[in-house]
Structure 1
Amino acid sequence: MRKLLFAITAFSLVFTQAWAQGNVVDQIIKEANDNSMLEQLAYELLDKNGPRLVGTPQMQNAHEWAVNRYNGWGISARNEQWGEWRGWERGITHVDLIEPRVKTLEAMQLAWSPPTNGIVDAEVTVIPNVQNESEFKNWLKTVKGKFVMIDMAQLSGRPDYNWEKWGTKESIEKMEADRRDAMRAWGERIRNTGYNSRELPGVLEEAGAAGILISNWSRGFGVNKIFGARTKSIPTIDIGLEDYGTLFRMVEYGDVPKIRVEVTNKDHGTVPTYNTMAEIKSAVNPDQYVMLSAHFDSWDGGTGATDNGTGTIIMMEAMRILKKVYPNPKRTILVGHWGSEEQGLNGSSSFVEDHPEVVKGLQALFNQDNGTGRVVNISGQGFLHAYEFINRWLEPVPRSISNEINTNFPGAPGGGGSDYASFVAAGAPGFSLSSLSWDYGTYTWHTNRDTYDKVVFDDVRNNVILTAILVYMACEDPEFFPRDKAELGTNPRTGQPREWPSPRKPTRKGGND
């Protein structure tokens, strides 16, 4: 009789646990689908606030907005300073071709570019095809007061897929060969100056150029990548592929194009930089943590929609849902919205340095950063026991979501790429929820087209459900994730054993070099 009672009790306990688990999972799914705030969060973050370049007022506004949003949901949140950065605020970029004809050009100053200090009319010239550094130094005497083009003009603004759709086999092969030859010739042209492409802006600035013109094409229709300027006193401006090619050809054919340029911005000196942190504290295991993770900053050619606005709103929405349906977690739930990921994982690596207690007590971290698509890959990041834990946590995820996901165990530890790597390098279990492409690398990653309209909300909603369930399951798991590392094998390039990545030293004061 006693054995029977014990068996009934054990069965009841297992049934009760399974029912409770299923109930919370069902509530997560229902809340994510029926009461989603994703579109509103995306509007407020992307359209209303705009891009979040480290050191800008827009980044600070976004930090304050996130804290207020969390507090409104009853979630404790704070902005935690990790360093300082050059404060800068984007203004107007306006460029007109005024000779030999009139046209307003597609143009955008690079991040941290100096202004023009008024409207400037100037001729345009191109890095010359010299034989050696001596010839180039003689040519430098002619650049004073001119805008200098330092990139190759593309032979075609049609992406490869467009050539493959419409071109003949012969025309495609010819274009590929011509492009390779042009790139090789341009590389030689740059080398013959005696400088590399990173050094040239400073050399031209010192020679008295009025500004630098580039065109960093992203190999898609109308898409350029927008990064940071390397000049201190003259503007650096990215020109759209089509307009850049027009200017380039005018110079090459012996005409003298002239442009009218106005670039405005503000320098705010040195400003503090932050991570936004929010938590749902556990009364059971308060010193063990399950973390949600996404970098908050972006480049500012667009509004940082898929890099990493989508990751940000996934984590915010998952936290909102967990607070509503799972308010008393068995481990503390912590979210990190990291600053300055784009300059080298600075916010997250600073957090790892500053919070060894979180690293020590970390059950798991789930990071999302590579675009708007549904999650299709999860790696074990080189942790020996990742297989049993990740598969256990994935079990209650709806099959319509989990069937899309490929897993790789034990995998290899990420040495960079996104903020999970800061935790992996410290020996803590950080996992990347890696997304389907949606042509991320070409059309939205660091580009002028990374905007709200590129967000695929159905995929993002699926990622919210996945993330919230993984966090819930990791909180409920009676076992603590062990830190055993798998054998990483041999590096085929060196023949040496692969090594676990080392923690990187964050740059805590940047933007002024």
Structure 2
Amino acid sequence: MKSTLYSLLLLCPGFVFAQEIDQAVLAKIRKEGLENSKVQDIAHHLTDVSGPRLTNSPGFQRAAEWSVSELKKWGLQKAEIQEWGEFGKGWQVEKSYLAMTKPYYMPLIGIPRAWTAGTQGPVTGEVALVNIQTEEDLKKYADGKLAGKILLTRPNVDSGPTFKADATRYTAEELDKMVPAVASPTINVPEQMERLRVQRAFRARVDSTMKAQNVKLEIVGRPGREGTFFTSNGASYRGDSPIANPAFEIAPEHAGLIARLIESGIPVTLEAESATTFFDKKLTTGNVIAEIAGTDPKLKDEVVMLGGHLDSWHSATGATDNAAGCAVMLEAIRILQTAGLKPKRTIRIALWSGEEQGLHGSRNYVKNTFGDPQTMKLLPAHEKLSAYYNIDNGTGRIRGIYLQGNEGPRAIFEKWLASFSDIIDHPTITIRNTGGTDHQSFDAVGLPGFQFIQDGIEYGTRTHHTNMDTYERLVMDDLKQMATVVAAFVYNTAQLDQKIPRKELPKPRAN
């Protein structure tokens, strides 16, 4: 009967919306978040101090352990790195050098590809230009022609001048276009994972062909501009996967230079040396988890969650992807604690691992805690979660929120956003789904999972998965705004008489 009544209430607009925002609490949150912020220091520790944070690497472990330590200092309970299962090998670069030596000397902008072997000392060789994108392409190189060569694949992209600004903010008109009448199709995570599996399998076949032909080194030109390149996964991280051949990825301008020389009939020689370390003694990993305990006798067993992914790629320090999101969420928790607030519901923060390889940390946490999207067999905790809020769209300030197809909370989110009208320009709520990050893991089992709309800044042009994703790319005033807004959303959710409305439960997903 209780469940039926709750479902009927969801059909009544405004059923949770009569509750007024506690203006005194909001003032405390705003003062702490906007005037006494510690987000800059948090971001410094997650980027400059921790370094690159591939899952299961020393950098990830440094960031996770530091985060747990800070959460404990702030008085949170159950702060720990909570294991979720096997991820695979950690990996990091120990040494990296790459240069063209003929027809003249030029140092090249590049880095070893993730999860590839080192060169075992300096290597020198003539470059062969190849294009291996399909199985048919691979067959062309199966006759031994590549033996002893250094291979170069250049990107099929335009890396010339652009007359568009790298950094942008949404205009009111652009935000208005994000508000369609119906939700966009839900991102199919199993399909994403299958595409990744197929890509990894093909990559393994390419690597075995190169290894059989004694190729010295592979150089992959990556998309990008002006020395910035978008990094990628060079090989499998699975515990039982073979070690991939040495490989570098380089800026498109340098890949283009080498390719044009070769196409002009001018031989090119490169020299390189890389040293990489695999960490395969412990293949399991975990997420950073901590709580502010709820205080209401009837509601303290219910949970409001906030989070972002702590892991990054390896070519920089993962500042906007996603130290920014983690710094914001840590700062939001610090704001609530420092302000002395006592939420009715428990507030739980999660900093995820393995997001970049397929949302592994959040997907396994949800499966272990709330339910399995494959079978839709739900655990008791599923009924206890009110909402999950995620940040993973760079350093840009919050401009609104994606409802992820869940129309129920629109009215209350409008009210909460309106309370920040002085720091949120043209607040926008869209029914649209947005994908590519950890709120999808919650959405997959019918839990309210939300990603905020953020200004793009340089995310798609300069920082997302690039060798330039460093501390300098962070806009501190934007991070302060985000942390303040998130803290208010999380606290308001914890204080509601009812949980955030839910969508209809999804059907079980095929494997």
Q: TM-score, normalising length from structure 2?
A: 0.80
- By how many angstroms is 1:413 displaced? 4.8
Alignment of 1:110-149 (within 5 A): 110-127=113-130, 137=140, 140-149=143-152
Within the candidate set 227, 244, 247, 2:258 is matched to 247
Change (3 A) 1:387 1:138: closer
The one-character-per-residue Cα deviations of 1:252-305 (angstroms, maximum 9, x if unpaired) are 122221111101011121432110011100121221111111111111111111
**Structure 1 residue 102 and structure 2 residue 105: aligned?**
yes
Within the candidate set 265, 268, 279, 1:257 is matched to 268
Which structure dedicates a bigger proportion of its chain to helix? 1
- By how many angstroms is 1:154 displaced? 5.4
**Structure 1 residue 48 and structure 2 residue 53: aligned?**
no
Query: Are the counterparts in 2 of residues 79 and 276 from structure 1 also a CA contact under 8 Å?
Result: yes
- By how many angstroms is 1:157 displaced? 3.0
CA distance in 1, matches of 2:137, 2:74: 66
Alignment of 1:343-382 (within 5 A): 343-356=357-370, 357-382=380-405
Q: Which residue identity does 2:450 align to in structure 1?
A: F
- By how many angstroms is 1:140 displaced? 4.2
- By how many angstroms is 1:135 displaced? 11
The one-character-per-residue Cα deviations of 1:396-447 (angstroms, maximum 9, x if unpaired) are x321234432112xx2555x41111111111111111121111311211111
Q: Which residue identity does 1:245 align to in structure 2?
A: G
- By how many angstroms is 1:377 displaced? 3.2
Which residue is equivalent to 1:28?
A: 29
CA distance in 2, matches of 1:135, 1:40: 49
Alignment of 1:382-393 (within 5 A): 382-393=405-416
- By how many angstroms is 1:474 displaced? 0.9
Change (3 A) 1:394 1:405: closer
- By how many angstroms is 1:142 displaced? 2.5
Query: Are the counterparts in 2 of residues 287 and 358 from structure 1 also a CA contact under 8 Å?
Result: no
Which residue is equivalent to 1:228?
A: 233
Change (3 A) 1:403 1:153: closer
Cα root mean square deviation, aligned:
2.7
Query: Are the counterparts in 2 of residues 52 and 304 from structure 1 also a CA contact under 8 Å?
Result: yes
Within the candidate set 263, 288, 291, 2:302 is matched to 288
Q: Which residue identity does 1:377 align to in structure 2?
A: G
CA distance in 1, matches of 2:118, 2:273: 8
Change (3 A) 1:450 1:502: farther
CA distance in 2, matches of 1:101, 1:294: 46
Change (3 A) 1:133 1:422: closer
Within the candidate set 411, 422, 425, 2:441 is matched to 422
CA distance in 1, matches of 2:203, 2:489: 45
- By how many angstroms is 1:359 displaced? 3.0
CA distance in 2, matches of 1:23, 1:325: 11
The one-character-per-residue Cα deviations of 1:215-242 (angstroms, maximum 9, x if unpaired) are 1113x32211111113834211112222
Q: Which residue identity does 1:364 align to in structure 2?
A: A
Within the candidate set 311, 324, 339, 1:310 is matched to 324
Query: Are the counterparts in 1 of residues 54 and 90 from structure 2 also a CA contact under 8 Å?
Result: no
Aligned length: 437
Identical counterparts, % of pairs: 31
Query: Are the counterparts in 2 of residues 122 and 147 from structure 1 also a CA contact under 8 Å?
Result: yes
**Structure 1 residue 432 and structure 2 residue 451: aligned?**
yes
Change (3 A) 1:359 1:300: farther
Query: Are the counterparts in 2 of residues 24 and 326 from structure 1 also a CA contact under 8 Å?
Result: no
CA distance in 1, matches of 2:283, 2:213: 31
CA distance in 2, matches of 1:200, 1:120: 21
- 3-state SS of the aligned residue for 1:31? helix
Which residue is equivalent to 2:81?
A: 79
Change (3 A) 1:248 1:134: closer
Q: Which residue identity does 2:290 align to in structure 1?
A: A
Q: Which residue identity does 1:366 align to in structure 2?
A: Y
Q: Which residue identity does 1:320 align to in structure 2?
A: R
Alignment of 1:4-19 (within 5 A): none
CA distance in 2, matches of 1:404, 1:198: 48
CA distance in 2, matches of 1:333, 1:203: 51
Q: Which residue identity does 2:222 align to in structure 1?
A: N
**Structure 1 residue 299 and structure 2 residue 313: aligned?**
yes
**Structure 1 residue 205 and structure 2 residue 211: aligned?**
yes
Higher Rg of the two aligned structures: 1
Q: Which residue identity does 1:39 align to in structure 2?
A: Q
